[in-house]
């Protein structure tokens, strides 16, 4: 098998970056996992949404205390930074920012930094977090009734039925700003919310050769009582160093356990 485990030739990566502006896509094995990002949008919001998680073989993304660095290897880190460079916006939840204080830049890959989108419904994150301290533009997305600190541009959205943010309204708002390739980087709760809402086009899941036996699960959905309440999909598997990368074609499907849209 070939894929992201192989070094990305510089000309192939340059061609992928050029494809952001409409240039032809490269025909190379190392580019294959990234090609769906450039597919025509299927949803009414005009966005292509790709979720991303790294997990152990037993489906854990962190220990119970929140430790998650590093489940994946060097290839996993580089793949994440390449996805950032190819997308217009990178979305993370408040829990990820609170736990990891990420920069969300493309420092490991040549290419532009995406707009950083922080989902913080109750505006609980302090202004001292790295994403609010300069660098690429940051959108602090809060609920309409929240009181943000003003350290970054604020985007107010209505709350959804579960009390979190209305994610469909989020995609509409991002598309209106010209941000149509959306990378939902984490954490597990945020990716699960997009999945449950039927708003993921693709899911890039790194699986590392590690078993924890406990910890935080990758996906948080309502409890299923029957196997047919789970979501089945097609996937392509790529080697990535000691890990494997799964490119899952979710195609905006909603897990049956989550009910009708």
d(CA 152, CA 5): 37
Query: Consecutive 10-residue runs of the chain (261 residues): their mean pLDDT?
Result: 63 96 95 96 96 96 83 93 98 94 94 98 96 96 95 96 91 98 95 96 97 93 92 96 96 90 60
pLDDT of residue 171: 98
Q: Which two tokens stand for residue 117?
A: 């989108």
SS3 239: strand
pLDDT of residue 2: 43
Residue 149 lies in a domain: yes
pLDDT of residue 232: 95
pLDDT of residue 107: 93
d(CA 97, CA 130): 9
Residue 172 lies in a domain: yes
pLDDT of residue 6: 52
- Determine the structural domain holding residue 169 and report its residue range: 69-219+231-252
Question: pTM of the entire structure?
Answer: 0.94
pLDDT digits (tens, 9 = 90+) for 210-219: 999 999 999 9
d(CA 119, CA 179): 16
Residue 177 lies in a domain: yes
Residue 169 lies in a domain: yes
SS3 235: strand
Residue 34 lies in a domain: no
Domain count, the chain: 1
Report the CATH number at residue 204.
Answer: 3.40.430.10
Residue 17 lies in a domain: no
Residue 54 lies in a domain: no
Residue with tokens 């829990």: 95
pLDDT of residue 3: 46
pLDDT of residue 162: 79
Residue 42 lies in a domain: no
pLDDT of residue 1: 38
């Amino acid at each position: 098998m070939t894929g992201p485990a192989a070094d990305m030739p510089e000309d192939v990566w340059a061609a992928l970056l050029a494809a952001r502006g409409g240039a032809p896509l490269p025909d190379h094995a190392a580019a294959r996992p990234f090609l769906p990002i450039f597919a025509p949008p299927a949803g009414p919001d005009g966005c292509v949404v790709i979720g991303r998680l790294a997990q152990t073989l037993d489906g854990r993304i962190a220990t119970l205390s929140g430790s998650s660095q590093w489940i994946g290897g060097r290839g996993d880190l580089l793949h994440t930074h390449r996805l950032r460079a190819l997308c217009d916006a990178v979305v993370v939840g408040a829990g990820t920012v609170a736990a990891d204080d990420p920069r969300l830049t493309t420092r490991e890959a040549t290419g532009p930094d995406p707009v950083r989108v922080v989902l913080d419904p109750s505006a609980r994150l302090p202004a001292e977090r790295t994403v609010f301290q300069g660098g690429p533009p940051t959108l602090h997305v809060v609920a309409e009734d929240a009181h943000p600190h003003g350290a970054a541009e604020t985007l107010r959205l209505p709350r959804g039925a579960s009390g979190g943010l209305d994610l469909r309204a989020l995609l509409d708002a991002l598309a209106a700003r010209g941000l149509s390739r959306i990378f939902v980087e984490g954490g597990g709760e945020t990716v699960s919310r997009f999945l449950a809402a039927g708003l993921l086009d693709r899911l890039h899941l790194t699986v590392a050769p590690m078993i924890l036996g406990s910890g935080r699960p990758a996906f948080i959905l309502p409890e299923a009582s029957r196997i047919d309440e789970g979501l089945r999909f097609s996937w392509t598997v790529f080697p990535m160093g000691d890990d494997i990368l799964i490119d899952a074609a979710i195609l905006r499907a909603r897990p049956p356990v989550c009910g009708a849209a």
